[in-house]
């Protein structure tokens, strides 16, 4: 189809329809599946959105070091740390379950500390 002033809107509609079809083919016709593995920025966003846990990048690195108890599960890919969504879910639930009998886990302590500081600043 040749594009000119008189059929410009028809051409735009055709292009948009083709783009919609390509997007459906690329993502499948259902919902896009979340990625199984995350990098550190994705992990920070995931913990904030799903569990309302605010955690810094440096805290994640501390939790991946061998000396921290209750460390976060991770894998190394080249020189990058990656985190399995399934392992993170299991780890977070274990952190929540361990709060009552043994005191607070490192992540829970960090979250409570941040909440306490922000509440003091508000008052």
> What ranges do the domains of the chain cover?
1-33, 37-122
Query: Does 102 score more than 60 pLDDT?
Result: no
Q: What percent of the chain has pLDDT over 90?
A: 18
Q: Quickly state the pLDDT bin for 103 (edges 50, 70, 90).
A: very low
Q: Distance between CA atoms of 55 and 68, rounded to whole angstroms? A: 15
How far is residue 103's CA from residue 91's CA, in Å, rounded to a whole number? 16
Model confidence over 45-97: pLDDT tens digits?
999 888 888 899 999 998 888 655 678 899 988 888 999 999 999 988 888 87
Phi then psi dihedrals of residue 14, to 5 deg = -65, -45
């Amino acid at each position: 189809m040749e594009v000119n002033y008189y059929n410009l809107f028809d051409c735009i509609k055709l292009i948009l329809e083709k783009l919609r079809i390509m997007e459906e083919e690329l993502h499948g016709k259902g919902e896009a599946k979340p990625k199984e593995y995350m990098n550190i920025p994705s992990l920070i966003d995931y913990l904030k959105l799903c569990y309302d846990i605010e955690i810094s990048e440096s805290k994640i690195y501390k939790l991946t070091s061998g000396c921290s108890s209750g460390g976060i599960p991770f894998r190394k890919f080249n020189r990058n740390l990656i985190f399995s969504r399934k392992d993170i879910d299991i780890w977070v639930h274990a952190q929540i379950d361990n709060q009552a009998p043994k005191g607070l886990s490192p992540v829970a302590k960090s979250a409570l500390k941040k909440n306490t500081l922000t509440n003091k600043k508000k008052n």
